[in-house]
A = this chain, B = another copy of it.
């Protein structure tokens, strides 16, 4: 029912489906079954970077550009810290208003409420839903350096790492593994001093990076709030998309993504079963023993699983 309505363009049904994912609803099973045959068409673009680099502005410009090209676009803003505050939702609503009358755009924040497998469990399922709903492009935007960034790269066909001058973290973020996850580098706020330094630093690091099967991540300078550099960014993303198809990497990435997704669901299932075992009620007791040094955690885990 919901799936049919969402596929025919009903935003409310689509929003409800994403909420099912967010809440880890048991209704997801039939939903995912209904959705599966309609998946595999959307291009997934991941955007990541430190707070303050202007990820949302870059995303908004991509949305505009793809809309102008007649494509249907969705934005999934993933907030890995939301178990606490659900903080992205306000910004979400503000941004949504820009496109409120455009049924070709769907913007949604998603919290991973710390339940089950977290992001690795919920985000891929939301992507399937948006994909089946007929969006041509899905932008997955996430904040922060760290695990979430790495996870988002795992979800995307093309990963954009967004940097900006003057944040004092160009080297720090670079060493934090972004070289390996970026398909395209975006140096945003390029109208500010220091932008050329950032791109020079990136270039010299890229020169030392291992070969990536023929793809050399380009560096695009943008000033997204003024729209500068957006055309070039769209062109580079399109080139990466072509390369993905020709090299066979697209298929590999998508199979790897499915592999992670299936594993995450299997582990969450097991976890839920553990929760139903007598062992779970003993977990508090075991935790008390471990906290006071009376038992080591491995023996406690053995005990829990034997329960």
Which residues on the B side are within 8 Å of A179 (C-beta)? 84-85
One digit per residue, 1 when the CB lies within 8 angstroms of any chain B CB and 0 when it does not, for chain A 255-278 equals 111110111011101110010000
Judge if A160 is at the interface, Cβ distance under 8 Å. Answer: no
* Chain A interface residue number, banded: 35 or more
CB distance B296 to A258 under 8 Å?
no
Q: Do A254 and B175 form a contact, CB below 8 Å, given A51-B50, A180-B84, A265-B298?
A: no
- Which of B38, B85, B148, B255 has a CB less than 8 Å from the CB of A147? B148
Which of A60-68, A75-83, A225-233, A241-249 sits within the interface? A75-83
Which of A10-18, A93-101, A118-126 sits within the interface? A118-126
How many angstroms between the C-alpha atoms of A50 and B119 in the bound complex? 20
Q: Do A297 and B124 form a contact, CB below 8 Å, given A176-B87, A177-B83?
A: yes
Q: Which chain B residue lies CB-closest to A262?
A: B300
Which residues on the B side are within 8 Å of A90 (C-beta)? 175
Q: Which chain B residue lies CB-closest to A266?
A: B301
Which residues on the B side are within 8 Å of A296 (C-beta)? 29, 32-33, 35-36
CB distance B297 to A265 under 8 Å?
yes
- Which of B82, B128, B176 has a CB less than 8 Å from the CB of A143? B176
How many angstroms between the C-alpha atoms of A260 and B266 in the bound complex? 19
Judge if A70 is at the interface, Cβ distance under 8 Å. Answer: no
Please give the count of copies of this chain that the complex contains. 2
- Which of B37, B172, B263, B291 has a CB less than 8 Å from the CB of A40? B291
Q: Which chain B residue lies CB-closest to A79?
A: B176
- Which of B32, B168, B263 has a CB less than 8 Å from the CB of A283? B263
List 21 A-B pairs, Cβ < 8 Å: A36-B294, A39-B293, A40-B293, A80-B147, A81-B145, A81-B147, A81-B176, A84-B181, A85-B177, A88-B175, A114-B150, A119-B147, A143-B146, A146-B149, A255-B287, A258-B297, A262-B297, A265-B300, A266-B274, A267-B274, A269-B305
Residues of A within 8 A of B (CB): 28-29, 32-33, 35-40, 50-52, 79-85, 87-88, 90, 114, 118-119, 124-125, 128, 142-150, 167-169, 172-173, 175-177, 179-181, 251, 254-259, 261-263, 265-267, 269-271, 274, 283-284, 286-301, 304-305
* 14 further interface pairs, Cβ-Cβ under 8 Å (given A85-B177, A167-B167, A263-B301): A36-B296, A52-B167, A84-B181, A87-B176, A88-B175, A144-B144, A144-B145, A146-B147, A146-B148, A147-B147, A255-B291, A258-B289, A263-B283, A265-B298
